[in-house]
Structures are given as C-alpha cells and as structure tokens.
Amino acid sequence: MIDQTTKAKEGTRLRFKLLDDITVSNTKLKKGTYLYGTVTGFGQQRVKATITSILVGDKFINVKLSVFDNDG
C-alpha cells in the first residue's frame, strides 16, 4: 500500500508498505517493510509504478518489480 499522502506525477518517488511477507531474489521481506518506487504513468484510475532496488540491511538488491493493486 502507498504509505504516505502525496500528489504524484510521472517520476515521483512513492513509499510502499508491505501488507504481507514476500520473497524477492531469494530474500524474505517481512510485512511492514518499506519499498520505494517511481511513478511511471497513469491509466484507468490507476497509478503505475516500478521498484528497481530494495535496501535490505546494508545492501541493495536489484529488482524489476511492477506495482499493482488487487481491489477488483
């Protein structure tokens, strides 16, 4: 979920908070972990965003994740 109130435009950085545990690149990320993504566009009342790296401890994990919702 987006964890802050912001006015987004393409290129805006957003903070997401995990609602469940997930595994990315063989690394377990716990519920409540913050991820940072960049808005890549808008469509059909949706914000499109990507996440390209995740800070875990003191190292970055390179990823290519697309953000989407499941409300319908």
Predicted TM-score (pTM) above 0.75: no
User: Is 60 exceeded by the pLDDT of residue 72?
Assistant: no
Confidence of residue 6 (pLDDT cuts 50, 70, 90): confident
For the chain, the structural domain boundaries read 13-67
User: Is 70 exceeded by the pLDDT of residue 3?
Assistant: no
Which residues contact residue 2 at a Cβ distance below 8 angstroms, ignoring those fewer than 6 apart?
14, 15, 16, 47
Tens of pLDDT along 7-59?
A: 778 998 888 889 999 998 888 999 988 888 899 988 887 888 999 888 888 88
